[in-house]
Chains A and B, each alone.
Chain A
Amino acid sequence: MNKIENQKAWFFVLPVLALVAFNAIIPLMTVVNYSVQETFGDNTFFWAGVMWFEQVLTSERFHASLGRQMIFTFSILAIEIPLGVLIALTMPRKGPWVPVCLVLMALPLLIPWNVVGAMWNIFALPDIGLLGRTLNAIGFDYNFTRQPGDAWFTMILMDVWHWTSLVVLLAYAGLVSIPDAYYQAAKIDGAKPLAIFRYIQLPKMKRVLTIAILLRFMDSFMIYTEPFVLTGGGPGNSTTLLSIDLVKIALGQFDLGPAAAMSLIYFLIILAMSWVFYTVMMRNEAN
């Protein structure tokens, strides 16, 4: 069979290419540019090779914030995914309460991120915040601006409050797409609720849960606004996640070279981990 060559088709791709180049590739290239040069502020640049990369990769500071980032991301995944599935399972599948539940669930997602940070900041203040005062009143010595443990607790609670809804909505979408007949068939077999969850609902939710884990992984790994507004990375450096550290280096210290190198490393970590997640989960599916 003769394959028809149509090189004109490339012209249709050009607009998208131009757009992507403009908003992704070109900015990325400037970062690459900074990452391999040294600058002294008056727009003179000197070749630095992989110096910044070496510096970042060997710095304890980077290791520490990467470690905090990992702990944060895996903690919220460990809480939000099971919790989201659990909530989705308890939501009604038909009837007048469905839209009410959906709207209630979607509400946290509609709040701007900096507002979420500000809300929780005030909410958790030990002297005037509802949460802070209540915790202290019932006997906990709670102060998220002073004690790292409390800061972490608040930060994770805030993220769970803000983003579990996304997992709920995705899991719910997966659940409602299961035809009634599956539940009836299970009932005829005499399957217990746990077996129904394990052998029908979970396998049927697998696809949407993969998406949920990926989205939550990427978003939480890049999180900046909410913890920045809530704790500003403190107390000390205890809640300084990767992105907060990056901004400190780039804008606080104006170390463009190391900041650019760190950005690229940061980007590659997210890319690599997303790829690993996706491949592992999709391979499980194929087997």
Chain B
Amino acid sequence: MSLELINVSKRVGVEQHIYPTDLKLEPGGLNILLGTTLSGKTTLMQMMAGLDKLTTGELRFNGRDVTKTPVQKRNVSMVYQQFINYPNFSVFENIASPLRVAGVAEGEIKRRVGEMSELMKLSGMLDRRPSELSGGQQQRTAMARALVKDADLVLLDEPLANLDFKLREELRDELPRLFADRNCVVVYATTEPVEALLFGGNTATLHEGRVTQFGPTSEIYRNPKDLISAEVFSEPPINHGDVVKSGSTITLSGGGSWPATGAAASLADGKYTLGLRPHHVTPQDDGGQSIEVSGEVLVTEISGSESVIHFTIGGRTWVSQSHGVHPVEVGEVEQLFADVSQAFYFDASGALVAG
């Protein structure tokens, strides 16, 4: 089973919503669409579902062209950011609704809804209306409805975004398990890199209507293809620095210099953009190949277990993220350590050249 997008694009008027995209999505693990709001996740999903027409390209399911197949004949299901349920149906009837449309026998409906509600922890509330449920329960009902019909393609469009923190954590833990032994292609859209990392599977990073990179999640995280993919897949945002390589030395504008080692050693002399994730910039020397950087502190966010410090360096704003509490004063010039062995180097076009 697989869903293939071949040269799929979407244009509305003069606006290019999705640039030509090729993707091949398969069962086993979630396929994550990672990108900011308006990056095109929802449009892409709606085209996959058949809710939105393709401007160009072709959609293949199991090798069969389904581009022109209407949505109700595709056996897809979708879960939205809003909790979408039939308002005057009970939870049971809500979950049963796709089966009823499909004309499944009553006994079979009872069995499958029972099973699904068990899995979704909704057993005790099958008689209630959606309006009598908490947000988490409403979204579980919507998910149960999406899962009960054994769809070939399940699309989840930021399903956890409208939930409060606790419920989100809870459903986050349950989600991969729900799909573990289902033979269907699952697509999950999110704005949060953390979710992508938690779910594993494959990730496609999206930026302004382009899929910038696609592959196994951890690989995408560890080896961003270009600056934009690295930016999309980093929260807090990845730090940018202007560096110059000359001979065997790399010099950071506004910071120190260090000997070029590893992949960076083979770079030609010239200007590059450095990318360094915030947790590699810390108030204490963590070892590795650390250089000292200093700058004026702009903002500090200190939670119980984590310190986030925003500071200026070489005309740019950097973020440091570290464990523990490191109180610093806003406005002071603070000394920090950047582990440049973890740095990515991008050329002028933004492509990764070393890292």
Contact = CB atoms under 8 A, between A and B. Distances in A.
Interface string A169-205: 0000000000101101101111100000001100110
Contacts of B89: 199
A181 B84 contact: yes
B31 to A, nearest CB: 18
Nearest to B73: A190
A181 B78 CA distance: 9
B87 interface: yes
Interface of B is mostly: mixed
A63 B101 CA distance: 52
A68 to B, nearest CB: 36
Interface residue tally of chain B, by bracket?
20 to 34
A46 to B, nearest CB: 58
Contact of B88 (A185, A190, A199): A199
Interface residues of A, number: 14
Contacts of B82: 179, 181
B260 interface: no
B232 interface: no
Contacts, number: 44
A189 B97 contact: yes
Interface string B72-97: 11001110111010111100000001
A204 B97 CA distance: 18
Nearest to B93: A199
Given A184-B51, A184-B78, A199-B89, A189 B84 contact: no
Contacts of A182: 84
A185 B101 contact: no
Interface string B51-85: 10000000000000000000111001110111010
Indicate the member of A181, A190, A199, A200 with the most B CB atoms within 10 Å: A181
Nearest to A195: B101
Interface of B: 46, 49, 51, 71-73, 76-78, 80-82, 84, 86-89, 97-98, 101
Given A184-B46, A189-B101, 10 more contacts: A181-B82, A184-B51, A184-B80, A185-B84, A188-B71, A188-B76, A188-B78, A190-B71, A190-B73, A203-B87
7 contacts: A181-B81, A182-B84, A188-B51, A188-B71, A188-B77, A190-B71, A199-B88
Q: Which 5 A-B pairs have the closest CB atoms?
A: A190-B72, A181-B80, A203-B87, A203-B88, A185-B84
Interface of A: 179, 181-182, 184-185, 187-191, 199-200, 203-204
